[in-house]
């Protein structure tokens, strides 16, 4: 690949990073912006804020279904593993007890259900969040490091060719106390 080819495909994304004074202001501002027709909204806060799902208009979380699936798969793997090993592949006759004893299989079935359920909660979260992701354009903002400490931000991704100034005035009207337009840097 030549350098010229790479330059031609790269389109820098632009974001408005707007700070709000409080969690409530952020919720109200986010709702206003969403009703104002802005699609790619995200909030950045040091802790989860109650009601952010409604403000961003998010659908139901996917994690519960993923965890349920993981747990069921874990239980099936465990039970069939035990059945295969102790009944089909190598039955051990101890005191003439039947090779298939369901109550004795429960503990490991439970443990593997928890292991795969918990594992899928963890892996599922990072997969859905697309983390680890070391670079994101919002990190270009000077003030953004406070998003993990004590500040409440709204980021708005601008569609290609959209007017940045209009978006800034819109987000100010929605209650932002400080705004900044950031552009993705080319890697």
Partner 1 sequence: MAAPHPSVSRDPLEPQPLIEGVHTDKTINDSLLAHVWRGAGKGWFALFSVALAMLGLLVIAISWTLYKGIGAWGNNIPVGWAFGIINFVWWIGIGHAGTLISAILLLFQQKWRTSINRFAEAMTLFAVICALLFPLLHTGRPWFAIYWLMPYPSTNGIWPQFKSPLTWDVFAVSTYFTISLLFWFLGLVPDLAALRDSSKSKTKRMVYGLLAMGWRGSGRHWAEYKWAYVLLAGLSTPLVLSVHTIVSFDFATSVIPGWHTTIFPPYFVAGAVFSGFAMVMTWMVPARHFLGLKHVVTMKHLENMNKIMLVTGMMVSYGYIMEHFIAWYSGDPYEYAQFFKTRWGGPMSGIFYLMVFCNVVTPQIFWFKKARTSIPVMWIASIFINVGMWCERFNIVITSLHQDFIPSKFENYSPTWVDITLFIGTIGLFSTLFLLFLKFIPAVAVTEVKELRHELAHDPTADPVGETH
Q: Which of 130, 122, 124, 121 is nearest to 42 (CA)?
A: 130
Q: Of these, 25, 81, 177, 181, which contacts partner 1 (CB under 8 A)?
A: 81
**93 in contact with partner 1 (CB under 8 A):** no
Region from 4-12, 80-88, 159-167, 174-182 binding partner 1, contact rule CB under 8 A: 80-88
Q: Where would I find the H helices in the chain?
A: 3-9, 23-35, 52-56, 63-83, 102-128, 164-173
Torsion (CA) 62, 64, 70, 74 in degrees, nearest 10: 180
Q: Of these, 10, 12, 64, 80, which contacts partner 1 (CB under 8 A)?
A: 64
The CB-of-102 to partner 1 minimum distance in angstroms stands at: 11
Per-residue contact string for residues 107-136; x = within reach of partner 1 by CB under 8 A: xx-xxx-xx-xxx-xx-xxx-xx-xxxxxx
Per-residue contact string for residues 164-183; x = within reach of partner 1 by CB under 8 A: --------------------
CA distance 18 to 38: 14
Region from 2-10, 137-145, 159-167, 171-179 binding partner 1, contact rule CB under 8 A: 137-145
Distance of CA 186 to the CA centre of its chain: 24
**90 in contact with partner 1 (CB under 8 A):** yes
Q: How many Å from the N-terminal Cα to the C-terminal Cα in the chain?
A: 15
Report, in angstroms and rounded to the nearest whole number, the Rg of the chain calculated over CA atoms. Answer: 25
**57 in contact with partner 1 (CB under 8 A):** no
Beta bridge mates, 7: none
**32 in contact with partner 1 (CB under 8 A):** no
CA distance 168 to 181: 8
**35 in contact with partner 1 (CB under 8 A):** no
The two tokens of residue 24 are: 């409530």
Which positions touch partner 1 (CB under 8 A)? 23-24, 30, 42-49, 52-53, 55-56, 58, 61-64, 67, 71, 81-82, 85-86, 89-90, 92, 94, 97, 101, 104-105, 107-108, 110-112, 114-115, 117-119, 121-122, 124-126, 128-129, 131-136, 138-139, 144-150, 153
């Amino acid at each position: 690949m030549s350098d010229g080819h790479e330059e031609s495909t790269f389109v820098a994304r632009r974001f408005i990073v707007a700070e709000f004074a409080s969690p409530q202001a952020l919720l109200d501002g986010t709702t206003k912006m969403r009703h104002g027709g802005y699609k790619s909204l995200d909030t950045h806060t040091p802790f989860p804020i109650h009601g952010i799902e409604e403000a961003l208009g998010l659908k139901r979380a996917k994690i519960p279904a993923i965890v349920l699936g993981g747990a069921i798969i874990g239980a099936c793997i465990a039970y069939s593993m035990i059945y295969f090993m102790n009944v089909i592949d190598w039955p051990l006759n101890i005191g003439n007890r039947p090779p298939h004893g369901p109550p004795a299989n429960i503990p490991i079935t439970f443990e593997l259900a928890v292991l795969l359920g918990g594992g899928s909660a963890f892996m599922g979260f990072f997969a859905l969040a697309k983390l680890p992701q070391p670079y994101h354009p919002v990190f270009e903002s000077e003030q953004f490091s406070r998003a993990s400490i004590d500040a409440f931000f709204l980021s708005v991704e601008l569609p290609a060719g959209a007017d940045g100034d209009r978006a800034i005035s819109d987000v100010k009207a929605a209650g932002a106390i400080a705004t900044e337009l950031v552009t993705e840097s080319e890697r």
